[in-house]
Amino acid sequence: MTGWPDFFLAMEAVMAPDGDADLAGDEFSDVHVPDCERCGGRLKPDVVFYGDIVPRATVTKAYEWVANAKSLLVIGSSLMVFSSFRFVRRAAELGVPVYAINRGRTRGDELFVTKMNEDCVSALNGLNRLLSLHQ
């Protein structure tokens, strides 16, 4: 992998049941998101960090997509963060079927029509092969 600091490539992690990784120690305690030299605000990619608030416009748009969806597919998420779980909950409330591919327990297990307790990469590769046969 190019572009990844050797620091990350050298790390060893234990795979958690939800597909996440448990890292030994506190290697990220010194990570600092830089401040803008011009305005003093935080520089960061267009993402929401843990602990940040999802912009209202983003949430509203996502709720619209859920309301207009024929189904919802959750891939590789434990849904333990409410920011993602709320959309699964809304889909279930609206009668939109929710499917999942994830190893281990998730916060939305009781809301899924079907859940594949599989590795996401293997499951998606298999699904891709299956769909390719029908084209």
Predicted local distance difference test score (pLDDT) of residue 45: 74
Q: Domains in the chain, start-ordered, CATH in brackets?
A: 56-133 (3.40.50.1220)
pLDDT digits (tens, 9 = 90+) for 18-76: 556 666 665 566 777 788 889 988 787 777 777 778 899 999 999 999 999 999 999 99
User: What are 38's two structure tokens?
Assistant: 């011009």
Among 31, 52, 34, CA closest to 44:
34
User: What are 114's two structure tokens?
Assistant: 């079907």
Going by pLDDT thresholds of 50, 70 and 90, the confidence category of residue 112 is: very high
pLDDT at residue 91 greater than cutoff 80: yes
Predicted local distance difference test score (pLDDT) of residue 20: 62
User: Distance between CA 87 and CA 110 in Å, rounded?
Assistant: 14
